[in-house]
Amino acid sequence: MAELTTTASHRAFEDAVRRMPGGVNSPARACLSVGAEPVFTAAGEGAWLTDVDGNRYLDYVCGFGPMILGHGHPEVLEAMHAQIGRGLSYGTPTVAETELAERVVAAVPGIERLRLVSSGTEATMSALRTARGFTGRHKFIKLEGCYHGHADALLVKAGSGAVTLGTPNSAGVTPGAVQDTLTAPYNDLDAVRALFAANPGEIAAIILEAVVGNMGVVPPEPGYLEGLREITTAEGALLIFDEVMTGFRVALGGAQERFGITPDLTCLGKVIGGGMPIGAYGGRADVMAVVAPEGGVYQAGTNSGNPVCVAAGIATLDVLRRDRVHEKLEALGERFEAGLVAALQETGVAGTVQRVGSMITLFFTEGPVRRLEDVTPAAVERFSRFFRAMRDRGVMLPPSQYEAWFISAAHDEAAIDRTVAAAREALAAL
Ligand code: KE4
């Protein structure tokens, strides 16, 4: 297989490294763990990316989730252009923010009231502060391999880029910042029960990805979410679903709709901005009443509810609902999963495919992958070779075994079949 010409990307990378750590503005894009340099994107269109050398790729990064409608959806762009003509940022409330909030409340079972912010990190850190303010308790539980952004207290045994780079516990985070962070393995209710028994009346909340995307896709085992709901209710702690990735992705109402478990607080991001910077946290009205200016939990942001971001979000959510996009994504996801499973069988490569809706991961280890330690160093190494082989065949995957691949509404059966054929070749060449 001839390697692609990436001369311009290489030059761009050398220029970037001079001014930015790793040449990237997020380590998740660095490609270090897959033994490659990142390629630099010139444009995205539908399901495709074009790099600065003119190479085209079927895109399964989708911006790490936001681009559920594909790149350059006309209705999203039109809504943004209309708003741009009226102004970019006012520092006053706008009606559109309420219109986006209404759409979120109408779709997400656990959200009665919410606050818009500008990233998933802001959403999760604010949800945690709200839970602590509401309960008066300091400690909280996070689960190993879940990634909730880069706020200090949450950078403990974190997934995504943190575990990819071997820094699940980041340098620069002080012992004081994580003194109240408790951790347990994912899919292990007994470990959570033990933490509550050892910290009676002290745990404000448990925060988790109800479907993990940041270990690669790891679904909750039957009874797991129900168990967490029962435990937190009994203990007077809040259940926080971090749906920054799964929100409006695995169903219109997110994982909480798909699995029928209603959390007390929900964090959102990615899809609700349609590709523009956004986040949100929300939940029970009584809990959100503690948020300033109504209550004593302070949280603020210059760009919170930015009119252009909100316009992109509203347009995206309206298209998702009107065109019943999740039905198409489910069908494409099933086709993709079946194709990858067949390719593993035909090539005799040991691996497992895990999928929820249009989030999917091929793990280079015998399944099931139930928790972080099930992802072995050997799997990481084989994935790195697979990643490079797929990129050389015009398929762009997230550059880590610990990430979810995303399908967009711009993908079709032909794109999926083309990707499966590339995977079959790449697996055979491993
Ligand atoms: P941001 O601050 O990156 O908007 O959101 C943080 C976050 C919170 N919660 C979940 C479940 C998330 O997946 C994320 C961010 N996801 C990563 C990809 N796994 C973003 C990519 C990156 O860090 O560049």
pTM over 0.85: yes
Asked if residue 140 lies in contact with residue 207, where contact means CB atoms within 8 angstroms, the answer is yes
Task: Collect the ranges in the chain with pLDDT lower than 50.
Answer: none
Q: Which residue, chain included where needed, has tokens 């029960």?
A: 193
Asked if residue 22 lies in contact with residue 30, where contact means CB atoms within 8 angstroms, the answer is yes
Ligand 1 first shell, C-beta below 6 A: 26, 28, 64, 119-121, 124, 147-149, 160-161, 209, 213-214, 242, 244-245, 269, 403
> Hey, what domains does the chain have and what are their CATH numbers?
7-60+324-429 (3.90.1150.10), 74-322 (3.40.640.10)
Contact partners, residue 333, CB within 8 Å, separation at least 6 = 355, 357, 358, 359, 360, 407
**What would the pLDDT profile of 192-230 be if each residue is shown by its tens digit?**
999 999 999 999 999 999 999 999 999 999 999 999 999
Active site residue 286: no
Active-site hit among 142, 270, 374, 402:
270
Question: What pLDDT, on a 0 to 100 scale, did the predictor assign at position 168?
Answer: 75
- How many Å lie between the centroid of ligand 1 and the Cα of residue 214? 8
Active-site hit among 51, 57, 142, 147:
147
CA distance 149 to 164: 14
- How many Å lie between the centroid of ligand 1 and the Cα of residue 123? 11
Which ligand 1 atom is the nearest neighbour of the CA of 277? Answer: 4
Question: What pLDDT, on a 0 to 100 scale, did the predictor assign at position 46?
Answer: 98
**What would the pLDDT profile of 375-423 be if each residue is shown by its tens digit?**
999 999 999 999 999 999 999 999 999 999 999 999 999 999 999 999 9
Active site residue 147: yes
Which ligand 1 atom is the nearest neighbour of the CA of 26? Answer: 24
Question: What pLDDT, on a 0 to 100 scale, did the predictor assign at position 167?
Answer: 79
Active site residue 186: no
Contact partners, residue 51, CB within 8 Å, separation at least 6 = 6, 8, 9, 39, 40, 41, 42, 57
